């Protein structure tokens, strides 16, 4: 008999916790063969769970009295709040009581806690946060999207390998195209870091397609793009901000006077656009290079994002991506 895969979920993290988190967990156990361990405040969790009918054998509860907020200093919060939903959840993974952990809470605390509690795969220099950046044709897997702000070329080489394994096994993309984010397409372009990283990437067995300029990223010209966490986070956050600003400006222009009627007629296609550029569709951001998967769900996650993050954890565990990463390095 196959063992049951169990996913621990931080019930208290994110802007819409615990409501949307618990709704997402319930949807997950209804829609797929999932077993979820919810971690959080007893009363808050029970109050939300009461709203739903579901198979009670598929949702476990583990109580934790504290919550880490996004304005706390990550290292201090992880060290002091031993009974927080995040720390308790990470320990479940460490002790193999859960296969993976999902949280929509503080990114900094989650990355710090995951690194110290769950621990790295042997040989991994720096675990890396990958994010599926929605684009015109699907998505591009961006890593590092914010975990390591100062990087060495060697880290970028490892990011590329981990990203390639992840995308190949999670999405069935054979031999994914891996590109280096750079401000010019020629090999000799860029800063000290990218020049050195280019040399290393050329020597790997990856499908390395060379440099990708940021303007090309939204057109899906690579499956995996690598950069340091400062540049990656800049790309991620600017893309979010600019999409909102641009769609907001369009709304301002077309919902006035006699344009209103035409704008109303276009509600559906505009909804499609939002869906095409919607991060919730692809789950959360995996923190790769650890002994087990830890997924950072967006702070504004609704139930759909949580459900998709749980699905992502199950696929990851089934495909045994941790061993595959270890073999690749």
Residues forming contacts to its own copies in the complex (CB under 8 A) are: 135-136, 146, 149-150, 181, 183, 190-192, 194, 213-219, 228-231, 233-235, 237-250, 253-254, 259, 261-263, 265-266, 269-270, 272-273, 276-277
Distance in Å from the first CA to the final CA of the chain = 32
Given the complex with its own copies, which of 54 and 270 has the nearer CB atom? Answer: 270
Given the complex with its own copies, which of 101 and 277 has the nearer CB atom? Answer: 277
Least distance from its own copies to the Cβ atom of residue 67, Å = 20
Q: Is 136 exposed, middle or buried (0-12, 13-18, 19+ CB in 10 A)?
A: exposed
- State the Cα–Cα distance between residues 204 and 163, nearest whole angstrom: 13
Given the complex with its own copies, which of 145 and 158 has the nearer CB atom? Answer: 145
Least distance from its own copies to the Cβ atom of residue 133, Å = 10
Among 231, 225, 229, 220, smallest CA distance to 210 is for: 225
Among 9, 25, 13, smallest CA distance to 67 is for: 13
Given the complex with its own copies, which of 119 and 214 has the nearer CB atom? Answer: 214
CB contact at 8 A, 259 and 176: no
Given the complex with its own copies, which of 200 and 263 has the nearer CB atom? Answer: 263
R_g over Cα of the chain: 20
**What is residue 307's three-state secondary structure?**
helix
Residue 265's CB is within 10 A of a number of other CB atoms, namely 9
- State the Cα–Cα distance between residues 281 and 116, nearest whole angstrom: 30
**What is residue 169's three-state secondary structure?**
helix
Given the complex with its own copies, which of 247 and 315 has the nearer CB atom? Answer: 247
Least distance from its own copies to the Cβ atom of residue 24, Å = 24
Least distance from its own copies to the Cβ atom of residue 255, Å = 9
Q: What is the H or E stretch that residue 31 is in? A: helix 19-31
Least distance from its own copies to the Cβ atom of residue 288, Å = 19
- State the Cα–Cα distance between residues 91 and 100, nearest whole angstrom: 11
Among 51, 109, 34, 23, smallest CA distance to 302 is for: 23
Least distance from its own copies to the Cβ atom of residue 149, Å = 4
Least distance from its own copies to the Cβ atom of residue 166, Å = 22
Given the complex with its own copies, which of 103 and 194 has the nearer CB atom? Answer: 194
Given the complex with its own copies, which of 172 and 269 has the nearer CB atom? Answer: 269
Least distance from its own copies to the Cβ atom of residue 280, Å = 17
Among 61, 54, 76, smallest CA distance to 18 is for: 61
Residue 195's CB is within 10 A of a number of other CB atoms, namely 15
């Amino acid at each position: 008999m196959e063992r049951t895969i169990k996913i621990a979920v931080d019930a208290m993290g994110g802007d819409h916790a615990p409501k949307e988190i618990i709704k997402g967990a319930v949807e997950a156990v209804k829609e797929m063969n999932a077993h979820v361990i919810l971690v959080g405040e007893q009363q808050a969790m029970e109050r939300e769970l009461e709203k739903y009918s579901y198979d009670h054998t598929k949702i476990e509860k583990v109580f934790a009295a504290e919550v880490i907020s996004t304005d706390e200093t990550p290292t201090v919060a992880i060290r002091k709040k031993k009974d927080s939903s995040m720390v308790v959840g990470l320990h479940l993974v460490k002790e193999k009581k859960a296969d993976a952990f999902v949280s929509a809470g503080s990114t900094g605390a989650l990355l710090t806690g995951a690194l110290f509690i769950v621990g790295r795969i042997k040989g991994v220099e720096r675990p890396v946060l990958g994010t599926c950046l929605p684009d015109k044709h699907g998505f591009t897997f961006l890593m590092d999207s914010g975990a390591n702000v100062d990087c060495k070329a060697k880290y970028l080489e490892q990011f590329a390998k981990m990203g390639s394994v992840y995308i190949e096994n999670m999405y069935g993309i054979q031999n994914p195209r891996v590109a280096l984010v750079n401000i010019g397409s020629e090999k000799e372009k860029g800063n000290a870091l990218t020049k050195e990283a280019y040399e290393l990437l050329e020597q790997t067995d990856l499908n390395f397609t060379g440099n990708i300029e940021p303007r090309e990223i939204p057109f899906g010209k690579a499956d995996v793009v690598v950069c340091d966490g400062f540049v990656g986070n800049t790309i991620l956050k600017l893309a979010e901000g600019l999409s909102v600003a641009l769609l907001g400006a369009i709304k301002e222009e077309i919902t006035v006077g006699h344009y209103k009627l035409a704008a109303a007629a276009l509600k559906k296609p505009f909804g499609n656009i939002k869906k095409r550029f919607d991060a919730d569709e692809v789950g959360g951001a995996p923190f790769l290079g650890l002994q087990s998967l830890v997924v950072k769900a967006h702070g504004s996650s609704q139930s759909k994002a949580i459900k998709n993050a749980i699905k992502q954890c199950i696929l990851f565990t089934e495909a045994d991506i941790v061993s595959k990463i270890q073999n690749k390095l």
